[in-house]
């Protein structure tokens, strides 16, 4: 079969993997949702690292077996994950507590402590990280402040991809892309943890992982991991990257100005900047290709794609029944409902901040809000309004980026998850007033990781293969009439958010005051 490469991704809502060959063909793919446990007044959001590791082992072995792959042909494996998120292990490598996932907002009091100790300006000067945002550091310090017994047991803290890399190789590491999500303690220019900052914030330096460039081989698959996964012992393991970045690499984003949107659990918009051009009120990170000196800025609507999963799981029993009995996919049925509703959802406006607002608002008290409900409102209105709300949130972030001098190059590439919805792509195109295309290859982040593994091990020539293998379809130009209408509704969207500021804070206060013991 020739040279093959494994890519693995741990998203917020599920884990997936693929194996590709050196011609860019996907030989096999696997996906499984994992449990998201939301508790403590919609503030804690957790996943079990051992659950996603078990799932990954199962479908990698299945892909190898079903496709009759000789595991000695697999030349490398790379892993990504959705961050900021953490897994904590003791000295024996056992997980301590459940892991925080990307949606977790519990560390608000720790963020206040960090602001008081180092201040916004100094945090940004060192890390280019926004001090109002959750980070792996704030999560670690929350453990220290609120669960000191657990904290004292922690040997190392890592991201979800770091945990899977550890289970594969026995090495506890963080790649440069993930390191940026350690927030204030990571010096983004020196590519190292800032010891003085760690001391000032009370972070125990010895609990942190070793840092590596994204494309560096950090170890090999152990015999134990080989037995569990079906991979050959000794297979090179690469440092890896962040899930969105792996998805954008799969989408051919290798040059400055290229812009992509992922519609996974979160809706993530990113622009490759190349040079260290650090923007306010967005995330500034290290891009995985040529990661010694290559950068990307991106924004996120935390529950961007998750709103559809929420609708499916909680308000769509009929759709689930049809799907479970061999009919249409539940999401496709929801799309059919939404397609019956005209653009603008007859005035129904949704603010999709179901677990807080991140870039550029950084308001963890914000919550999902639906405005304009009347006696003619149907389920189809709600579905379409959710889609439009996510697009407007992303457009608000897009404006924050371009207003700081970033110039997009070419159409926006719609990638992964909800991007398969032709309706949602049309909505994004018309809200943005900018052309879009869809990436034909639906494999997403695992595919980008596989490319990273191929280049890192020298079995693929360079990252130009990502450009060559990325095929774009369904080019859309914005509908001028719809765009003008959406501009008006976007103003209303922003106005609603502005008027709800004090109410969001009061709502959060009352929830905490009357929370069940």
Q: What is the pLDDT of residues 41-54, one digit of tens each?
A: 778 999 999 999 99
Buried b or exposed e, range 269-298, using 16+ CB within 10 angstroms: bbbbbbeeebbebbbbbbbbbebeebbbbb
Does residue 135 form part of some domain? yes
Residue 242 scores a pLDDT above 80 = yes
CATH code where residue 206 lies: 3.30.420.40
Cα–Cα distance, 513 to 507 (Å, whole number): 10
Residues 459 and 507 in one domain: no
Better-predicted residue by pLDDT, 129 or 13:
129
Look at 131 and 224; give whichever has higher pLDDT: 224
In a domain, residue 331? The reply is yes
- Work out the average pLDDT over 249-265: 93
pLDDT tens-digit series, residues 392-426 = 999 999 999 999 999 888 999 999 889 999 999 99
Report whether pLDDT(115) > 80. Answer: yes
Report helix, strand or coil for 24.
coil
Report the Cα 307 to chain-centroid distance in Å. 15
Does some domain include residue 66? yes
Structure tokens at 157: 């803290």
- Pair (148, 112) in one structural domain: yes
Residues 97 and 232 in one domain: yes
In a domain, 401, yes or no: yes
Q: Which residue segment(s) compose the domain that 389 sits in? A: 300-440+479-512
Look at residue 407 and tell me if it is in a domain. Answer: yes
* 353: number of Cβ within 10 Å: 25
**Count of domains forming the chain:** 2
State whether 79 and 160 are in the same domain.
yes
Assigned domain for 265 exists: no
Cα–Cα distance measured from residue 180 to residue 260, given in angstroms and rounded to the nearest whole number: 20
* C-alpha span between 396 and 381 (Å, rounded): 22
CB-count exposure of residue 323 (10 Å: 0-12, 13-18, 19+): middle
* Same-domain status, 233 and 374: no
The separation between CA 512 and the C-alpha centre of its own chain, rounded to angstroms, equals 28
Q: How confident is the model at residue 36 (pLDDT cuts 50, 70, 90)?
A: confident
Per-residue pLDDT at 517 exceeds 60: no
At 364 the pLDDT is 87
Same domain as 432, residue 355: yes
Q: Are residues 213 and 89 in the same domain?
A: yes
The whole-angstrom separation of Cα 460 and Cα 451 is 8
Lowest mean pLDDT among 37-46, 296-305, 340-349, 475-484: 37-46
Give the 3-state DSSP-derived string for 246-315, with helices as H, strands as E and coil as C: HHHHHCCCCCCCCEEEEECCCEEEEEEEECCCCCCCCEEEECCCCCCCCEEEEEEECCCCHHHHHHHHHH
Percent of the chain topping pLDDT 70: 99
Range with the poorest average pLDDT among 185-199, 395-409, 445-459: 395-409
| pLDDT-based confidence at residue 232 (cuts at 50, 70, 90) | very high
Same domain, 340 and 426: yes
Q: Tell me the average pLDDT across 103-125.
A: 92
Q: What local confidence, expressed as pLDDT, does residue 1 receive?
A: 67
Q: Indicate if 355 and 373 belong to the same structural domain.
A: yes
> Same domain for 313 and 416?
yes
């Amino acid at each position: 079969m020739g040279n093959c490469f494994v890519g693995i991704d741990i998203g917020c809502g599920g884990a997936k993997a693929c194996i590709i060959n050196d011609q860019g063909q996907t030989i096999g793919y696997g996906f499984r949702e994992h449990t998201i446990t939301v508790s403590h007044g919609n503030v804690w959001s957790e996943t079990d690292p051992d659950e996603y590791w078990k799932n990954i082992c199962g479908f990698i072995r299945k892909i190898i077996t079903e496709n009759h792959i000789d595991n000695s042909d697999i030349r490398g494996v790379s892993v990504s994950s959705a961050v900021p998120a953490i897994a904590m292990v003791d000295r024996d490598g056992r997980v301590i507590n459940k892991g925080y996932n990307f949606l977790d907002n519990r560390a608000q009091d720790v963020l206040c402590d960090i602001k008081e100790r180092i201040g916004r300006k100094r945090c940004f000067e060192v890390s280019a990280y926004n001090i109002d945002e959750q980070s792996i550091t704030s999560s670690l310090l929350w453990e220290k402040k609120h669960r000191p017994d657990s904290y004292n047991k922690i040997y190392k803290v890592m991201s979800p991809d770091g945990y899977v890399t550890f289970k594969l190789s026995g090495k506890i590491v963080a790649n440069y892309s993930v390191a940026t999500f350690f927030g204030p303690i990571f010096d983004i220019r020196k590519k190292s943890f800032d010891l003085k900052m760690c001391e000032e914030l009370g972070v125990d330096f010895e609990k942190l992982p070793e840092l590596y460039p994204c494309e560096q081989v950090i170890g090999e698959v152990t015999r134990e991991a080989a037995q569990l996964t079906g991979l050959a012992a000794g297979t090179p393991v690469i440092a890896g990257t962040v899930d969105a970045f792996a998805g954008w690499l799969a989408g051919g984003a290798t040059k400055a100005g290229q812009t992509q949107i992922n519609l996974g659990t979160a809706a993530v918009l990113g622009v490759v900047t190349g040079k260290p051009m650090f923007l306010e009120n967005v995330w500034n990170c290290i891009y995985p290709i040529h990661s010694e000196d290559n950068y990307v800025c991106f924004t996120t609507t935390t529950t961007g794609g998750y709103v559809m999963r929420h609708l499916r799981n909680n308000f769509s029993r009929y759709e689930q029944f049809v799907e479970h009995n061999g009919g249409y996919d539940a999401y496709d049925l929801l799309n059919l409902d939404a397609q019956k509703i005209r653009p603008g959802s007859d005035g129904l406006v949704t603010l999709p901040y179901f677990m807080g607002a991140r870039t550029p608002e950084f308001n963890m008290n914000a919550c999902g809000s639906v405005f304009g409900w009347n006696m003619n409102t149907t389920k189809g209105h709600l579905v379409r309004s959710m889609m439009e709300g996510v697009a407007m949130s992303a457009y608000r972030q897009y404006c924050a980026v371009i207003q700081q001098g970033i110039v997009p190059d070419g159409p926006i590439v719609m990638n992964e998850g909800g991007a398969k919805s032709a309706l949602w792509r049309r909505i994004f195109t018309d809200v943005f007033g900018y052309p879009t295309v869809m990436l034909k290859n639906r494999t997403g982040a695992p595919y980008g990781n596989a490319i990273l593994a191929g280049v890192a091990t020298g079995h693929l020539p360079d990252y130009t293969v990502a450009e060559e293998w990325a095929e774009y379809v369904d080019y859309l130009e914005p509908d001028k009439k719809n765009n003008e209408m959406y501009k008006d509704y976007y103003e209303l969207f922003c106005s609603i958010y502005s008027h709800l500021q004090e109410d969001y804070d009061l709502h959060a206060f009352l929830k905490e005051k009357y929370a069940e013991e």
